[in-house]
Amino acid sequence: MRPNILLIVSDQHRLDCVGAAGDYPVKTPHLDRLAAQGMWFDQAYTPIPLCTPARQSLLTGRRPETHGGLWNYDLGSRIPALDPAEYSWPRELQEAGYASQYVGKWHVNPDHGPTDFGYDEWVQLEDYAAWRQERYPDSPATADWFGAIDPVPTADSRTHWLADRTSAFIREQSGKGTPWHARLDFLEPHLPCEPTAEFADLYQPDRIPQWRNFHDPLEGKPYIQRQQLVNWGVEDYTWEDWAPTVARYYAAITQMDDAIGRVLQAIDDAGQADDTLVVYTTDHGDMGGAHGMMDKHYVMYDDVVRVPLIMRWPGHISAGSASDSFTYNTLDLPPTIASMVGVQGPAEAHGANLFEAGEDELTPADAVADREFVVSSYNGQQFGLYSQRMIRTRTWKYVWNLTDTDELYDLQADPGEIVNRIADENVTTILADLRLQLLQQLTTDNDSLVGNAWMRHQLESGRKLTR
């Protein structure tokens, strides 16, 4: 029997800010329960730490550079958005008889919504905004990027209103005997974080621990990282300045988790938990004061490229299982879901099916278990164009910054990625190997950067200044 599919996608959620990660003190009991009942992916990475292109990859299973999704189409130099003619796995589900609904943030194409990519209906963020304006005309959204408290009751907050729309769809479909696919996209915990008082009160700023990589002198690193601080006006911020913002980030995550619990309860109440694949992930992470920085632009730190990924399907995915294989959340999910449902999947997938059929339950696929590295990209946007390509192994991370100093981090000795080893003559062999591995992967994935001989030469021959 084909499973129902609930895909929950948040916006800008760090891996280490899930309770199941066992790291920072963020309360996420419902995500933790999902992980306990399914599989937790400890080494999941986004192929690009930016909203629109990451979401486009989640629909197509391809790296965004191959279909032109270099950055957010609505900020910075104008580029085309994802064409509805491109492959989209929800369209395959629709053709296979799935009823589907998309709720929440879209940010894939300004002129074509989810119904042009295979969904039957779409509940937009604008629908909530109109409902809220009518119900609370004196409670406008904040204009403060550092966050505020949402004055409405939690039941009427955006997180819970969206979750209730998804829950209603699940209840409606549960008695029809046909499979359904629900996608729920939260805007949380993307800045500005605006938790309700109920959740804001859970986290006091003076009790929020510093990020372990908060103090970073940014020595020997690209100019744009210092400029990023100046652009945001945070170059002189202390942890006491950052703590209230991080507290609201925690609170927004816990509030979103509470809303997710409502949807999971709807599945339980409908008696469909055993028949439903539940997936939770995000588009990318968040700096939120790590390295002293705001948001996510112009960096390839694990704070923004390493992301949560959880999958639960009782009887098919072992409860309490974990994978430490390198995983691409938005690239691997399309072929994985297609295989579980029994449809063709993307013909030009840059990801792989995460599972293979076992005697009783699905088992991790060798193609994923054998991965020795992951690659992520960035093409600039918010403060100007800036090309980056990252390769990360278990022990090293190399960032190719085409128009500035490259970065090289020893992840065993320096997990916080503070010391740039790019000019260290003791690691030249490691650097050369990483550059060639990156070149090979970019070539395989048809990245146009290495189709240019002038740029390709930097990786092939190491013709790159270290300062």
**What per-residue confidence (pLDDT) applies to 76?**
78
Q: pLDDT for 123-148, tens place per residue?
A: 999 999 999 999 999 877 667 899 99
Give per-residue pLDDT as tens, 106-123: 999 999 999 999 999 999
How far apart, in whole angstroms, are the C-alpha atoms of residue 167 and residue 187?
Answer: 18
| 4-369 and 383-461 have identical folds | no
pLDDT in tens, 143-190: 789 999 999 999 999 999 999 999 999 999 998 989 999 999 999 999
Question: Residue 421 — pLDDT band, cuts 50, 70, 90?
Answer: very high
Tokens for 98, please give them: 């799935």
**Range 383-461 classified under CATH 3.30.1120.10:** yes
Residue range 4-369 forms a domain whose CATH class is: alpha beta
Look up the pTM and report it.
Answer: 0.97
pLDDT classification of 359: cutoffs 50, 70, 90: low
pLDDT value of position 141: 66
Identify the pLDDT of residue 367.
Answer: 85
Q: Return the domain boundaries, the chain.
A: 4-369, 383-461
191 has pLDDT over 90: yes
Residue 372 has pLDDT above 90, yes or no: yes
Share the mean pLDDT of the chain.
95
